[in-house]
Amino acid sequence: MTRVGVIGVGTVGRAVVQILEENKSIITARSGDEISVKSGVVRDLSKVSDLSIAVSQDPYDIVDDPEIDIVVELMGGVELPLAVVKKALQNGKAVVTANKALLAYHRYELQEIAGDIPFEFEASVAGGIPIINALRDGLSANHILSIMGIMNGTCNFMLTKMMNEGTPFAEVLAEAQALGYAEADPTFDIGGFDAAHKLLILASIAYGIDAKPEEILIEGIEGITPADIAFAKEFGYTIKLLGIAKRDDAEVELRVHAALVKEDAMIAKIDGVMNGISVVGDRVGETLYYGPGAGGNATASAVVANIIDIVRSGKRSPMLGFNHPLEEGLRLKNSEDIRSKYYLRLRVSDKPGILAKITSLFADESISIEAVIQRPSETECAHLLFATHEATERALHGLMAKLETLDAVLESPFMIRIV
Amino acid sequence: MTRVGVIGVGTVGRAVVQILEENKSIITARSGDEISVKSGVVRDLSKVSDLSIAVSQDPYDIVDDPEIDIVVELMGGVELPLAVVKKALQNGKAVVTANKALLAYHRYELQEIAGDIPFEFEASVAGGIPIINALRDGLSANHILSIMGIMNGTCNFMLTKMMNEGTPFAEVLAEAQALGYAEADPTFDIGGFDAAHKLLILASIAYGIDAKPEEILIEGIEGITPADIAFAKEFGYTIKLLGIAKRDDAEVELRVHAALVKEDAMIAKIDGVMNGISVVGDRVGETLYYGPGAGGNATASAVVANIIDIVRSGKRSPMLGFNHPLEEGLRLKNSEDIRSKYYLRLRVSDKPGILAKITSLFADESISIEAVIQRPSETECAHLLFATHEATERALHGLMAKLETLDAVLESPFMIRIV
């Protein structure tokens, strides 16, 4: 049994508690041990009265609890979390944090204090996307040539709106605030500081470079106007707030700023609140990681993955993730039971009544039609193109077999599934 | 010192040998040990005479060599690799393979034989993309709801051409063969079998499900015609060959087939020979992984990442990837030395000679102009929009300071970098 203490039970902390409880069987299978949350720390005790964990208001209740194995730090801020996390490490407890500001300033100090004690922080960059995992382990054979990422969902939501709808900055900001994507004081997001914290963390993993936010180029998106949007469109660009780390001989460039990006680049295709990070390695070339960069569940997904990884500690993951099928009942579905929408192409002789005949066969199999196009294909022949609503493979195969027997159907029907 | 034996020194094996040699310093920093290739096995000895490793033609020379710690299996085929890999495991050697066919048929048998001996296979699915890493570790807190991926670059190259240029199937296939993307007998790729092998591996990690290629729905792209392409375009779809694993209560759907995909889905935006895999977790939502699915270097990047991971074995990665800066000389670049292309917006009074005056300031700073647009903005005022060629931040800041002093420039100039 591994016991976890969660310091900061807000949106993310609550999701961590819930995932560990609700996904317990899969988590036990993957980690090889039972994991439970022993206690939490919150400012306002009334806000967690629905949770079945012990709560207090003092972080040291968790940090100094000899029964707690893993401390999850989700407080926010820098100085208090630093003190709390240091004490946890000194007490020999593993630490998981989502606190990017803490790491932007104190990551090397923490690495030194941690030594062999696990200290993980997947959730600190790009929420649910396992980018630290990818960069530290998946691409470990490579010199990293560059990292270029959309690391702030608020800015990307706003820029996407401005590009797609031509809405001016102030209006989009108000909308983002109304939707809860931007804070009342939005400076941290739209000024590029949030992205900069994340960039510094990634740059350490890629290059081992220790830099502080104050030492790098950070600009935001405040000045962008419809004139800029129009220019970008005219020349085939989109505008994104990017965090960029780039190697240039013995120097590493680190910068956060708005950028015109060619609209056919993969990174240009990441819209709305989503995050995406492109990494170019000297051997692998470009890889890109896309997903939700914020939100309680997505961020908690990364926190819990770190917890599982720590619990496994020392031991490797089982070759196929776990040694037994996850849930006993899980079995392969019979292919004929799979449901899809379908596209169907028929070449038919162009005679009266043929469409009625064919569509009645659809009805016989209870397959309903969403769209039909009839195109003349050659003399006295036509292509009939159908899109259906959802049906089983069994029904579809039944339909195709019946269609095949019609004299008016000149070739075997051709089908593509619609996903 | 960890000693590696490479069975199969073709395109991928050669790249593995080269990466371990050429990226030795970074690999030693990340793995904590020196790794060297002791020997290789090839069919034709003359093809590797330029490599500085010992070579033979018998896989058992490596498998039975007591000095070898890690066996890299890159032979291809199923039965011989199975025998060789089993023997390696029985001899206590860790195994890394890129062999998807071997795993599509024998992964559970191998997991049982391997037990606690490391057996890794990141390169078997989607080449250089660390998708197994992501699925097994990064998303371990989630029930996987679905996996949907473009797992075969040959098909994606062909379908992209057919969609973009309307080229018929036979012609695109001939082109893919001429470019070396498709084999003389292309059935394994275009029939969907290659993608199916990969899908089965991912499905095991997501669901712990043991299925063989013969048990799942596999269809290829052979029947797609320009009529289908036209229909897809008309309704806002693109056509992709997808591998799909989807959970439906206690059943798992596994299928490979061509599909119409809404063109605004991220997976629809993956073009050419690239691979991309979308994974939906119950907590994280959708994440997507994009990169090169084939090629010697990209595949070898994944093989070497597995080797590094095994060498670290038991021990966790250092918190920030390595404990010391990677190369001693690596330092932060001064922000003023960063080079970009720039977009510049000026609001100017619309008087004769103003464009000449302004462009002469560009010339003074040796910043050359790639594009200019002048738009009237209001009475007697105009917007001047510039795109420059590459210059340093220092030169650009110098230019902006000079522009600011001009009476005709009515507002501080506004700049966005072009990436």
Percent of chain B with pLDDT over 90: 85
Q: Could you tell me the pLDDT band of residue A319, with boundaries at 50, 70 and 90?
A: confident
- Quickly count: other Cβ atoms within 10 Å of residue B195's Cβ: 30
Averaged pLDDT, A184-200: 96
Where is average pLDDT lowest: A112-116, B300-304, B343-347, B414-418?
A: A112-116
Q: Does A181 touch chain B (CB under 8 A)?
A: no
Q: Does the pLDDT at position A172 exceed 80?
A: yes
Q: Which residues of A touch B410 (CB under 8 A)?
A: none
Q: Does the pLDDT at position A352 exceed 90?
A: no
Question: What pLDDT is recorded for position B324?
Answer: 62
CA B375, CA B355: separation in Å to the nearest integer? 12
Question: What pLDDT is recorded for position A295?
Answer: 93
List the binding residues of B: 100, 183
Token pair for A259: 């950028």
CA B359, CA B355: separation in Å to the nearest integer? 6
Name B224's Cβ contacts closer than 8 Å, sequence gap at least 6: A416, B159, B162, B169, B239, B258
Averaged pLDDT, B218-232: 94
For B315, the closest chain A residue by CA position comes to A314
- Positions of B annotated as catalytic residues are 198
For A298, the closest chain B residue by CA position comes to B284
Question: What pLDDT is recorded for position A325?
Answer: 59
Averaged pLDDT, B10-35: 94
DSSP assignment of B79-121: HHHHHHHHHHHHTT-EEEE--HHHHHHHHHHHHHHHTTS-EE-
Token pair for A347: 């070449």
Q: Could you tell me the pLDDT band of residue B375, with boundaries at 50, 70 and 90?
A: confident
Cβ-Cβ pairs closer than 8 A, A with B, add up to 393
Any idea what the Cα angle at residue A101 is, between residues A97 and A106, rounded to 5°? 80
- Biggest CA–CA distance in chain A, Å, is 86
Q: Which of residues 112-171 of A touch B (CB under 8 A)?
A: 114, 118-122, 128-130, 133-143, 148
Q: Could you tell me the pLDDT band of residue B184, with boundaries at 50, 70 and 90?
A: confident
Question: What pLDDT is recorded for position B313?
Answer: 76
* B210 compared with A18, residue with greater pLDDT: A18
Token pair for B352: 């004769």
- Quickly count: other Cβ atoms within 10 Å of residue B198's Cβ: 25
Q: Which of residues 216-245 of A touch B (CB under 8 A)?
A: 216-217, 223-225, 227-228, 231-232, 234-235, 237, 239, 242, 244
Q: Could you tell me the pLDDT band of residue B320, with boundaries at 50, 70 and 90?
A: confident
Ordered domains of chain A (ranges, CATH)? 2-124 (3.40.50.720), 131-292 (3.30.360.10), 335-418 (3.30.70.260)
- Quickly count: other Cβ atoms within 10 Å of residue A171's Cβ: 13
Q: Could you tell me the pLDDT band of residue A377, with boundaries at 50, 70 and 90?
A: confident
Share the mean pLDDT of chain B.
93
Q: How many helices (H) and strands (E) does chain B have?
A: 14, 18
B259: nearest CB among A207, A266, A418 = A418
As a dihedral over the C-alpha atoms of residue A159, residue A164, residue A167, residue A172, rounded to 10 degrees, the angle is: -40
Question: What pLDDT is recorded for position B116?
Answer: 87
Name A21's Cβ contacts closer than 8 Å, sequence gap at least 6: A37
Return phi, psi of residue B336, to 5°. -70, -15
Question: What pLDDT is recorded for position A323?
Answer: 66
Share the mean pLDDT of chain A.
93
List the binding residues of B for NADPH: 100
Residue-wise pLDDT for A91-113, tens only, equals 999 999 999 999 999 999 999 99
B292: nearest CB among A284, A317, A322 = A284
Where is average pLDDT lowest: A170-184, A303-317, B188-202, B343-357?
A: A303-317
A157 near A181, Cβ under 8 Å? yes
Question: What pLDDT is recorded for position B314?
Answer: 64
Q: Could you tell me the pLDDT band of residue A314, with boundaries at 50, 70 and 90?
A: low
β-pairing, B285-292 vs B274-281, is antiparallel
Do the chains contact at A321 and B204, CB–CB below 8 Å? yes
Any idea what the Cα angle at residue A69 is, between residues A66 and A73, rounded to 5°? 105
Percent of chain A with pLDDT over 70: 97
Q: Could you tell me the pLDDT band of residue B325, with boundaries at 50, 70 and 90?
A: low
Q: Could you tell me the pLDDT band of residue A312, with boundaries at 50, 70 and 90?
A: confident
Question: What pLDDT is recorded for position B326?
Answer: 60
Alpha helices in B91-225 (DSSP H): 100-114, 131-133, 153-165, 169-178, 187-190, 193-207
3-state secondary structure chain A: CEEEEEECCCHHHHHHHHHHHHCHHHHHHHHCCCEEEEEEECCCHHHHCCCCCEEECCHHHHHCCCCCCEEEECCCCCHHHHHHHHHHHHCCCEEEECCHHHHHHHHHHHHHHHCCCCEECHHHCCCCCCHHHHHHHHCCCCCEEEEEEECCHHHHHHHHHHHHHCCCHHHHHHHHHHCCCCCCCCHHHHCCHHHHHHHHHHHHHHHCCCCCHHHCEECCCCCCCHHHHHHHHHCCEEEEEEEEEEEECCEEEEEEEEEEEECCCHHHHCCCCEEEEEEEECCCEEEEEEEECCCHHHHHHHHHHHHHHHHHCCCCCCCCCCCCCCCCCCEECCHHHCEEEEEEEEEEECCCCHHHHHHHHHHHCCCCEEEEEEEEEECCEEEEEEEECCEEHHHHHHHHHHHHHCCCECCCCEEEEEC
Do the chains contact at A335 and B297, CB–CB below 8 Å? no
Where is average pLDDT lowest: B83-87, B119-123, B353-357, B360-364?
A: B353-357
**Candidate ranges A220-229, B80-89, B241-250; pick with highest mean pLDDT:** B80-89
Q: Does the pLDDT at position A15 exceed 70?
A: yes
Do the chains contact at B30 and A418, CB–CB below 8 Å? no
* A352 compared with B14, residue with greater pLDDT: B14
- Positions of A annotated as catalytic residues are 198
Chain B: give the shortest CA distance to residue A332, in Å: 5
Q: Does the pLDDT at position A304 exceed 60?
A: yes
Q: Which residues of B touch A302 (CB under 8 A)?
A: 138, 141, 284
* B36 compared with A381, residue with greater pLDDT: B36
Q: Residue B226's closest CA among B162, B308, B135? A: B162
CA A83, CA A65: separation in Å to the nearest integer? 16
Check whether A212 is labelled as a binding-site residue: no
Question: What pLDDT is recorded for position A138?
Answer: 95
Q: Which residue, chain included where needed, has tokens 């900055």?
A: A169
Name A1's Cβ contacts closer than 8 Å, sequence gap at least 6: A33, A34, A35, A36
